[in-house]
A and B are shown apart, each in its own frame.
Chain A
Amino acid sequence: MSKIIVLKCVGHNPKDFELDEAVAVQFGCIKDLFHSDFDAESKIVVDVPTKFNSYIIGRILEFCSSRASFSSDRAYWEQYFFHPCREPNQRKRKELLAIMEASEYLGMESLVELTTQSLANYLKGKNPLTIRSLWKVEGDLTAEEEEAKALAMGVAKLGH
């Protein structure tokens, strides 16, 4: 009987995910649990923070279990898992950010790389006002900080 780790999602649509060792060792934050001394038949329950809902955790586990059948993680990501496109819709944006943050929390390096690279591609070449509008970001710089930023941009242009 192999060790089992349970990821307990309590947020929207609560759900428990049982991970076998092959999947669990892909997460930096829990792989060490397999090396600690405990009864081989015991189950360890790991509480997932509320902000990571069961859908997102399910997507991440789907990635972990399916990636091996593709030539590379990137191939799987682009061909099947996330289809990079010119401009994602609001739902896709939310999903990308949620997977990114959850992967970082779980220590799933490959997914962190893929999600952050995708986000970088979406942000490249756009001015902050466009990004705020597309990604629903509130600008929270004070008037002084905005002025300092404008000054710095002006100096940067002169320096060119």
Chain B
Amino acid sequence: MGSSLSNLNDGATNDSSTGPSLGDIPESCIAAVFMYLTPPEICNLAGLNRSFRGAASSDFVWEKKLPPNYQDLLDLLPPERVLGLSKKDIFAVLSRPIPFDDDNKELWIDRVTGRVCMAVSARGMAITGIEDRRYWNWIPTNESRFHVVAYLQQIWWFEVDGTVTFHLPPGIYSLSFRIHLGGFGKKSGRRVCNYEHTHGWDLKPVRFSLSTSDGQEASCEYYLDDVKREEAHGHHKRGFWIDYKVGEFVVTGSEPSTEIKWSMKQIDCTHSKGGLCVDSVFINPIGDLKDYRTKSFCEIS
């Protein structure tokens, strides 16, 4: 198989005909290789041969891919669903959304990074005036992972608050609101938007903020509609879902759980605003703790 040619080229004395091939290396070495690969890459290599298939199913490999607090996620599921599962099966189960808090929140682990992600439905938030159908209505839709969004017709005091407490694994997280300017629906099978109620978002910005139980805070402002609307170019923020990033926070792991609060407000009552859908808040992992420490160190120095 070309090994004699290798010998001719090879001034040194490595006889490649006696060297191991990839198919011969022990499962322990394959498991060590898998430490550097993502779960989808591991599943891809499981088809290589028996040894790779064996290593790709081993608890040793998958335990390292699970977040450190995976038991907290398993506790959200009915016990019979998690009985007798291998670590690989646990990863598969946890990579699908797990509802909690009356199904208004979901947790899952990212298939590539193994980090914990969270989404909170508008239904799980405190929305000022939500009970008054002159202001807000609930619209069922497949465009939301929670199958419902809150549609604002018109209001002066616009405020949406939320909170969650969970034992998140250490890391850096980003929080964002998922918002759609304008209403939407289907007409003859096509998606159509309407802006009959959309107004007021170009006059003053909306203030977004977050805070954590250990004193971290972040805030910012966005105009939700284009301030200078030029007809030739159309509206750049209307008609599709936008994730407005509120800020980042760090979980160090020193506390048993983290409480995160967030808020979106435009409470200047000199003008009304409306024609907007609020779907959810996403809390996404964006880095390891060591990235934060490196970054902080660089900023200080």
Contact = CB atoms under 8 A, between A and B. Distances in A.
B36 A101 contact: no
A149 interface: yes
Contact of B29 (A12, A104, A145, A159): A104
A135 interface: yes
Nearest to A126: B44
Nearest to B19: A94
B217 to A, nearest CB: 36
Contacts of B188: none
Nearest to B40: A156
Interface in B115-132: none
Interface stretch (B7-15, B147-155, B156-164, B205-213): B7-15
Interface string B3-33: 0001001101111101111110110110011
Interface stretch (A18-26, A48-56, A65-73, A79-87): A48-56
Residue of B19, B21, B28, B46 contacting most chain A CB atoms (<10 Å):
B19
B296 to A, nearest CB: 23
Given A55-B14, A95-B14, A98-B14, A124 B37 contact: yes
A156 B18 CA distance: 38
B69 interface: no
Contacts of B19: 53, 56, 94-95, 97-98
A116 B32 contact: yes
A98 B49 CA distance: 19
Nearest to B48: A128
A139 B15 contact: no
Interface of B: 1-2, 6, 9-10, 12-16, 18-23, 25-26, 28-29, 32-37, 40-41, 43-50, 53, 95-96, 111
B1 to A, nearest CB: 6
Contact of B1 (A51, A117, A136, A159): A136
A36 interface: no
Contacts of A137: 21-23, 48-49
B214 to A, nearest CB: 34
Contacts of B40: 156
B242 to A, nearest CB: 23
B46 A94 contact: no
A153 interface: yes
Nearest to B43: A156
21 contacts: A13-B15, A53-B19, A54-B13, A91-B14, A97-B20, A98-B19, A100-B25, A101-B20, A113-B32, A116-B36, A120-B37, A123-B33, A125-B41, A128-B44, A128-B47, A136-B1, A137-B48, A141-B49, A141-B50, A153-B47, A156-B43
